[in-house]
Structures are given as structure tokens and as C-alpha cells.
């Protein structure tokens, strides 16, 4: 057996590209077609004209932009403060701070909104603190979406702040630059792209969220909620497709702008860089620490409220503890099968998504397939990042629900849920795989060819084991997101296959807020357990890893 090259590598990569085209490009094409389709089968802009001339829908468009701007304005500096505290200070208990900052990643986006209702809603414990204000509408949406988006921005900014050349700071200090001057002239310019990326990711996540608007939106309508109403409430798929396209445009523009900013960002860390370690600074650590503690306490209060609501008998009148809200079979949300279904779906998504993303990335980065085909595959693999989950889910529903489509057989099955989840989260898995593969010595393939080792042998015995930590991280990412997502599956799940995150939405719709909070917290428990298992696996891999001298030494012990 030879290494994947020439026709064999090209054929494999072509299959991957065609699969992405069918499960990503085709649903988006169907979405665009339905938004332009007339009753006689021709093309028309009448649906767009109706949307743009409807006062209610115009208001949703403006509200969406305003909401996104407010959340970006709040989250970006807050996330930078936390990331700076974790990477550039000597704060104690950094592990606890990082865990609290990441907690909203492990729950559906509407759980923070539920907690806000319990705190500041009509029967909220802290409602008197609001005076004449109400949590319903723009204020509640800004706070709920800020909590949900914060961890994503923290991850991006921690990465931006973790790479720094200590020599720049040493030279600036020798030249008499103060700490504040070094911050403005070195730190901020060095993470400029990270700030742009964080802001755009936060904006994209906020305008695509349907959970918080359903819970605390009140009369503050947004595009994501319009899609939900048009499809679920009115069965108006054409208008739903129009709104989905309108939602897709700013998200795609944000991603393109971020890519442009990335291309203009110069490398700030050279191969000769010296690792940066923050110097002791009590004033800096005190100020940053106070800000981080306040943000962490706010997140902890929201999560604790959700947990308390799940275990008290009747909020806020009877706060005695009970487990009745975990008896999910009593409520209209799918029962305990919803959580087992979600775990099964998340596991399959993690396995299938990890394998497909890593193998596809390997073919695109390390094989000898045609350069043009590699470029096409890379573009397709990056595309899902620019598409909101609601738009992709609706595209899946419209494309695979057509009986004339040979792939119609997966509609209404678990298979379409797996496909939708894998595609929706594919870009991050692909980019992580690419980053891992780029870190491996490019001499492995030539060395294997010289030593007569086969392609599958090289991949299975060398490349995959060396990439195991990244594979675990990809699998955890896919598992957690498949457990918490609502948007991409809300139009697709079969009636007999309820999902936990959707059950939270449905139970809250039915007025069963406490069971909804209990289901949301159960999702958190499952994801924490997954992170613990993944962490143990990563530690075991770290203990078993050995220094690699050269590709020849690694391949020498591998059977041909």
C-alpha cells in the first residue's frame, strides 16, 4: 500500500468535497431558492419586498442590529478583562476563574435567560431592585446573550494574549516605558485581531440566538425569533427562508471581515521569541482581580439561580427542596428519553465529526491531491462558520424534505440530526485539525515513502496517535455543542426523538419553567462529566507521550 497520492488522494478528497457540497452547499442553495420562488415556479423578489415593507419585520431587523451592538460593547471588554487576568497577571485561583467563565458554554443559551426571569421576572426575588424597569425586552436580552457569548470571546482573547514575546516588554521597560504605556503600545496592538475576531463572533452568536428571545424577549422581536415564528407558528417556509437569508448576510459579512483582518495581522511572535511571564504588580492585579471577581460572581449567581429553581418546590413562595422537577415524564418535554437521546446524538456527532474533520484535513494538508481540489475543499470546510444554526437547520428541512431528493430517506430520522450537527460545527473541528497537522514534521510522508510504509499505516500508527490530544479536544467540542444546540435541530428532530436542549425550550413555552431549568442543569452535569473524562484522557496521553527525534526514528518501528 502506498501513501495517499495522485488519483487515490484526489478521489478521497473529491468524495469529502462532494459530501460537504451536498450537506452544506445544497441546503443553502435550497434556502435561497425558496426565498425567491413564486407560486408559479418562477423567480420573484416579492417575498423580500413584503419583508422590507412590513413595519414589524423592519423593526426586527433594527432590533437585531441594536442587540448585537450592545452585546458586543459589553462582552468584548469584559472578556478581555478575564482573558488578561488569566494570561497577563498573577491572580490566585485562576483555574476557578477560568471554569466559571467557561460555564455558560456547557448549557443551552436560554438557561441564563431563565435564571434572569427567576431573579428579576414578575415573581423574581430581586425584582424590587429594578424599580420601574423590567427584565423583559431589550435589557434582559442584552444580559442573557452577554452571558451566553462571553465564554466564546474569552477563548479567542486568551489565545491572542497567550502569545507574546517577552523581549518587547523588556526593551520597552529599559527605554523607560511605564506599565500603562507598554499596555497601549504592545499588548493592545498585539491582540488587535483577537479583539476583532471576538467582537464579530459575539455579534454572530447574538443575532442567531433564538433561546433568549423566546424567554425574555417580550415585545422586542429579532430576526431569529421571526424565523421561528414563520416556520413553526405559521408554516410560511418562503418567508422563513427570506428572514434566514437576511440573518445569514450580516453573519457572513462579519466572518469575511474577520478573515480580512486576520490576513492583515502581522505575526507578533517570531521563532526566536522569549516566553512572556507577568511580573508582580499588586496594583494591576488588584484592579483586574476586582473586575474578574465581579464578572465571575455574576455568572455564578445566574448558574446558582438556575440550579436553585430546579430544586425548590414553588419559586418564590415555597423554597423547600424537592426533586419533583426532575421527574421529566410528568411534563411535556420528552421525559428522560430526551436526555438519553441527546447523549447518544452527541456521542455519535463527536465520533463521526472528529473522524471526518481530521481525515478531510489530512487529505487537504498532507496528501498529494490536486491544489485546486484542496482549495475548493478548504472553502467548503470554512463555510459553516458563516451560517447561523437556524438558517442551516431551515435549509436542511427544505432540502431533505423534498420527496424528489434521493437523500430524502434521512429526513425525519436521527441521521439528519447527526448530519446537521456535524456540518454546523465542522469549521472549528477542521481548523483545529489543520493546526495540529501543520505542527507535525512534513518529512513524515517522504520518510514513509522511502521506508516503504503504507499510507494507512502512517496515518493510523503515526499521524493519528501524535494528533490524539487535538482529536480529544475536537470530540469534546462537538459533544458539548451537540448537547446544547437548539437552533440547528429545532426544525429537524422527529416527534418521537425529543432532545434535551429543545425540551428546555418546549417546557418553558408550556409554562413549566422549573422543569426547564432542571433539564438545563442536567445538560450541564452531562457536559461537566464529559469534560472530566476528556481531561483524564488528555492527562493520560500527556504521560504516555515521548519526545520525537525525527520521522525516521518514529517510522522505524512501524510495520510496513
pLDDT in tens, 272-284: 456 666 778 888 8
CA distances (Å), 287 to each of 259, 275, 283, 301, in order? 33, 24, 6, 21
Q: What is the pLDDT of residue 511?
A: 86
Residue 268 has pLDDT above 90, yes or no: no
Average pLDDT over residues 456-480: 82
Choose from 184-198, 266-280, 456-470 the range with maximum mean pLDDT: 184-198
Alpha carbons 41 and 45: distance in angstroms, whole number: 13
Average pLDDT over residues 145-155: 92
Q: Which of the two residues, 259 and 88, has the higher pLDDT score?
A: 88
CATH architecture of 1-41+329-550: Orthogonal Bundle (1.10)
CB contact at 8 A, 350 and 482: yes
Is the Cα torsion angle 201, 207, 209, 213 positive or negative in sign?
positive
The rounded mean pLDDT for the chain is: 84
Alpha carbons 49 and 559: distance in angstroms, whole number: 66
Q: What is the pLDDT of residue 275?
A: 63
Q: What are phi and psi of 219, to 5 degrees?
A: -95, 10
Q: Where are the alpha helices (DSSP H) in 6-126?
A: 6-20, 26-36, 46-53, 55-87, 94-102, 110-120
Angle at 532 between CA 531 and CA 536, to 5 degrees: 115
Q: What is the pLDDT of residue 204?
A: 86
What are the start and end residues of each CATH 1.10.3720.10 domain in the chain? 1-41+329-550, 45-270+287-322
pLDDT in tens, 323-374: 899 998 888 877 899 999 999 999 999 999 999 999 999 888 877 778 889 9
Q: What is the pLDDT of residue 304?
A: 94
Choose from 27-41, 77-91, 195-209 the range with maximum mean pLDDT: 77-91
Report residue 3's pLDDT band, with 50, 70 and 90 as the boundaries: very low
User: What SS3 class is residue 172?
Assistant: helix
pLDDT in tens, 8-29: 878 889 999 999 999 999 999 9
Alpha carbons 491 and 47: distance in angstroms, whole number: 21
CB-based burial, 509-545: b 16+ in 10 Å, e otherwise: eeebbbbbbbbbbbbbebbeebbeebeebeeeeeeee
pLDDT in tens, 491-519: 999 988 999 999 999 898 888 899 999 99
CB contact at 8 A, 223 and 246: yes
- Which residues have a Cβ under 8 Å from the Cβ of 413 and sit 6 or more positions away? 494
Q: What is the pLDDT of residue 265?
A: 52
- Which residues have a Cβ under 8 Å from the Cβ of 62 and sit 6 or more positions away? none
The fold adopted by the segment(s) 45-270+287-322 is MetI-like fold (1.10.3720)
DSSP letter (8 states) at residue 321: E
Strands 312-314 and 318-321: antiparallel
Amino acid at each position: 500500500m502506498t501513501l495517499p497520492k495522485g488519483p487515490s488522494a484526489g478521489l478521497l478528497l473529491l468524495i469529502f468535497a462532494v459530501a460537504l457540497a451536498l450537506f452544506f452547499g445544497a441546503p443553502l442553495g435550497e434556502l435561497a431558492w425558496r426565498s425567491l420562488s413564486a407560486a408559479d415556479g418562477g423567480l420573484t423578489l416579492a417575498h423580500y419586498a413584503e419583508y422590507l415593507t412590513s413595519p414589524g419585520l423592519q423593526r426586527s431587523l433594527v432590533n437585531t442590529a441594536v442587540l448585537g451592538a450592545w452585546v458586543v460593547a459589553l462582552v468584548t471588554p469584559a472578556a478581555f478583562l478575564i482573558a488578561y487576568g488569566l494570561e497577563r497577571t498573577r491572580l490566585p485561583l485562576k483555574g476557578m476563574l477560568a471554569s466559571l467563565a467557561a460555564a455558560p458554554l456547557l448549557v443551552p443559551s436560554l438557561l441564563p435567560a431563565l435564571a434572569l426571569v427567576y431573579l428579576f421576572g414578575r415573581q423574581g426575588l430581586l425584582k424590587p431592585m429594578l424599580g420601574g424597569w423590567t427584565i423583559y425586552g431589550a435589557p434582559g436580552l442584552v444580559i442573557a446573550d452577554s452571558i451566553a457569548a462571553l465564554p466564546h470571546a474569552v477563548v479567542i482573547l486568551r489565545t491572542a494574549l497567550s502569545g507574546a514575546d517577552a523581549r518587547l516588554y523588556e526593551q520597552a521597560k529599559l527605554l523607560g516605558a511605564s506599565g500603562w504605556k507598554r499596555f497601549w503600545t504592545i499588548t493592545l496592538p498585539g491582540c488587535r485581531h483577537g479583539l476583532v475576531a471576538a467582537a464579530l463572533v459575539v455579534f454572530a452568536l447574538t443575532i442567531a440566538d433564538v433561546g433568549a428571545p423566546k424567554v425574555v424577549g417580550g415585545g422586542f422581536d429579532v430576526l431569529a425569533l421571526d424565523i421561528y415564528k414563520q416556520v413553526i407558528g405559521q408554516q410560511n417556509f418562503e418567508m422563513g427562508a427570506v428572514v434566514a437569508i437576511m440573518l445569514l448576510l450580516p453573519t457572513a459579512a462579519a466572518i469575511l471581515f474577520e478573515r480580512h483582518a486576520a490576513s492583515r495581522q502581522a505575526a507578533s511572535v517570531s521563532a526566536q521569541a522569549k516566553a512572556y511571564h507577568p511580573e508582580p504588580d499588586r496594583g494591576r492585579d488588584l484592579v483586574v482581580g476586582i473586575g474578574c471577581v465581579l464578572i465571575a460572581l455574576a455568572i455564578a449567581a445566574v448558574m446558582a439561580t438556575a440550579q436553585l429553581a430546579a430544586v425548590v418546590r414553588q419559586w418564590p413562595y415555597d423554597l423547600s427542596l424537592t426533586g419533583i422537577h426532575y421527574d421529566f415524564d410528568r411534563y411535556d418535554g420528552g421525559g428522560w428519553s430526551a436526555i438519553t437521546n441527546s447523549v447518544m446524538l452527541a456521542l455519535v456527532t463527536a465520533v463521526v465529526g472528529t473522524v471526518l474533520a481530521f481525515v478531510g484535513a489530512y487529505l487537504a494538508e498532507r496528501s498529494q491531491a490536486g491544489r485546486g481540489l484542496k482549495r475548493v475543499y478548504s472553502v467548503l470546510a470554512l463555510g459553516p462558520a458563516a451560517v447561523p444554526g437556524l438558517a442551516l437547520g431551515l435549509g436542511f428541512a427544505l432540502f431533505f424534505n423534498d420527496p424528489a431528493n434521493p437523500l430524502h430517506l434521512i429526513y425525519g430520522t436521527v441521521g439528519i440530526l447527526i448530519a446537521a450537527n456535524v456540518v454546523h460545527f465542522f469549521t472549528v473541528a477542521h481548523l483545529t485539525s489543520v493546526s495540529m497537522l501543520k505542527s507535525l514534521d512534513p518529512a513524515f510522508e517522504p520518510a514513509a515513502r522511502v521506508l516503504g510504509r503504507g499510507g494507512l499505516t502512517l496515518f493510523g500508527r503515526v499521524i493519528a496517535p501524535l494528533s490524539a490530544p487535538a482529536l480529544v479536544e475536537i470530540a469534546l467540542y462537538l459533544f458539548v455543542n451537540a448537547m446544547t444546540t437548539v437552533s440547528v435541530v429545532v426544525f429537524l428532530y422527529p416527534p418521537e426523538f425529543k432532545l434535551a436542549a429543545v425540551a428546555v425550550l418546549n417546557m418553558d413555552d408550556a409554562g413549566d419553567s422549573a422543569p426547564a431549568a432542571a433539564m438545563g442543569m442536567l445538560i450541564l452535569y452531562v457536559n461537566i462529566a464529559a469534560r472530566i473524562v476528556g481531561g483524564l484522557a488528555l492527562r493520560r496521553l500527556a504521560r504516555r507521550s515521548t519526545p520525537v527525534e525525527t520521522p525516521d526514528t518514529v517510522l522505524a518501528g512501524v510495520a510496513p
